[in-house]
Amino acid sequence: MKLPFYFETNITSGSAKNIGQLSESAKQKFIQDNRLDYEIFEYAKREIQRDAHKSGSVFANALNLVHVIQAEINQLENPYLHSSVAFGFDEAFLVKVHGVINRFDLAPINEYLRFAQGEARTFADMYDGFVDSVLDGVVSGWAVNLSRPEQSVRLEVRVGSEVIASGSTGEHRPDVASAGYPSAYTGFSIALPPDAPDEFHVAVAGSAERLHNAGVWRRGWHCV
């Protein structure tokens, strides 16, 4: 609808059966298994708070109006609440939704949209890389920041979440450039500490993003 409103679809009546209480260990495992989703959620909350602070009353006025209009939309008789499968949108219901929206002066929302669209966009860094070998206590491979290829990439060797060694790209890898990547200085060699455990993996520093072929390594061989 080009506006920040929603309505629920594909909703069935009834409730889930035999719902038990999750153990604390099960909850923690779920959080660990979905840690990236939690990180994205926390990042989104920080971005919203940043926008709210930066735009001041423009954001607050728009958000207040969104809440008011959404509450009115939620009062409509929603045909999807009674359907097991929604075959396309119900045109009559959409007309009602637009009717509710059009009763309001949308100037505060439009003002915020203009503000947001005028902001300079920051693009997330995207990485690619590969672990080639682990020989004589040294992890070697290549990595590149596809968003900013002129910058070196900080890397960490980890056992679980513990960082046991770190290093950066910068070694000459003409084979990587020949393969179509935007930099030839993407190679890295990271020395492992003498007491490093057998199992470790390689990831971009400060990130959960691992390099390709960077599952758990045991000295001299690789576990998928």
Task: Tell me the DSSP string of 29-50.
Answer: HHHHHTHHHHHHHHHHHHHHHH
The mean pLDDT value for 25-47 works out to 87
28 φ, ψ (degrees, to nearest 5): -65, -35
Q: Global pTM? A: 0.47
**Looking at the predicted structure, is the pLDDT value of residue 3 above 70?**
yes
pLDDT band at 84 (very low <50, low <70, confident <90, very high): low
pLDDT at 104 over 60: yes
Fold classification of 127-222 (topology level): Immunoglobulin-like (2.60.40)
Strand partners, 141: 131, 188
pLDDT band at 120 (very low <50, low <70, confident <90, very high): low
Average pLDDT of span 64-85 = 83
Residues 143-171, mean pLDDT to the nearest whole number: 93
For residue 171, pLDDT beyond 50: yes
Give the range among 73-77, 115-119, 190-194 with minimum mean pLDDT. Answer: 115-119
Inter-residue contact 187 to 173 (CB < 8 Å)? yes
Half-sphere exposure of 176 (CA within 13 A, CB side): 25
User: What is the domain partition of the chain in residue ranges?
Assistant: 24-118, 127-222
Most confident of 48-52, 111-115, 165-169: 165-169
DSSP characters for 82-123?
G-SS--S--HHHHHHHHHHHHTS--HHHHHHHHHHHHSPP-P
pLDDT value at position 39?
A: 87
pLDDT for residue 175: 92
